[in-house]
Structure 1
């Protein structure tokens, strides 16, 4: 009976993975659409508070699709690929578009290079190791990095608003500190993943 139950659960899991458009994947896709709207708002300029609210909403709903997928057995292969991809599009895209107003946003070219370079390298490294059968799941530093990047981008967007509150010197100082901390944690996270990968390679050679 237990064997039959296990077999049924396995078949249901495989069946759910073959489903393409379910609720979690639809939420993920909607986040991608929101990201495109966000980039237009940044490029057009003048709607900074709206852009900040939209960014916070798109970024904060990241946990929702994953939670629903795991809780209701809706995990799919597409979802596993699409969710982290959309996360990177939202954050890296925001940094890239903010570079267009670098003189006011606090975002510099070297910051964008570090953020995008880290994501590209670690994603490639993860793909390579997982093809080798290695467990290269996300570390706590990666989650902290994502959170700090989102907070820094939010402050950067708000600092572009002409509203007096967001032009206060203390707010701009907080923005700059958050950007620097986010970049430092991004570097730390990248190095941690590299050390983990090196450890996995050494163990596999043994």
Structure 2
């Protein structure tokens, strides 16, 4: 194995995946949301950086080629698990998250079954766009948790009638409740629809991989 900068970045991204869940075990919210958001965005950025450096420095290795998609899938799967477990939008996210998780398991199973012929399932440009869209959606959904809990901290102990009056604009908004409420709502909506778009691309790429694998799945005469 060759330990170069691109491979080290990939391994760091792989280790960051379980760290996302740890954030919510050892930190209170919204600090856990902040740490998870920063960790996820930083790790997602290395997905582009390590690939760029590997090509630019001609340091592409078998280790990197193996670990890179595993790190991507681990980041997405664990992040979705955390969001479904802690987000107030979880009821709306279960179905697109299920599509994404099912596809990842299905394609991984195809690759394992095909063995030496798994090269027919090379990562396509559309699959890369799928991964980028998944990570963008997850980052936005983590930010929704940040806004939601800052809003909750601001209205803690406040009378419901007063909160309603502030949000309606009939009372002065000293604590910035309006922008926090709007940020929470819009980040949830945008993250939700981005995740659905990612689920659509995920389903399309999964069907494409199945089509390419079909010749290798036919029974002999």
TM > 0.5: yes
Please provide the CA RMSD for this pair. Answer: 2.6
For the pair 1:77 / 2:62, whether they are aligned, the reply is: yes
Deviation at 1:86, TM superposition (A): 0.8
Q: Which runs of 5+ in 1 are unaligned?
A: 1-18
Secondary structure in 2 matching 1:192 = helix
For the pair 1:167 / 2:151, whether they are aligned, the reply is: no
Are the structure 2 counterparts of residues 134 and 56 from structure 1 closer, same or farther at C-alpha, using a change threshold of 3 Å? Answer: closer
For the pair 1:51 / 2:36, whether they are aligned, the reply is: yes
C-alpha distance after superposition, 1:176-203 (max 9, x if no partner): 21122222221122112212323x5499
* 1:1-206 alignment, distance < 5 Å: 19-43=1-25, 44=27, 45-47=29-31, 48-105=33-90, 108-129=93-114, 131-132=116-117, 134-161=119-146, 162-163=149-150, 165=179, 167-168=181-182, 169-198=185-214, 200-201=215-216
Which structure carries more relative contact order (alpha carbon 8 Å, separation 6+)? Answer: 2
Larger radius of gyration: 2
Q: Which runs of 5+ in 2 are unaligned?
A: 152-178
Q: How far apart are the structure 1 equivalents of 2:79 and 2:118?
A: 33
Contact conserved, 2:6 with 2:51, CA < 8 A, in 1?
yes
Contact conserved, 1:106 with 1:176, CA < 8 A, in 2?
no
Task: Report the TM-score when normalising by structure 2.
Answer: 0.72
Aligned residues: 185
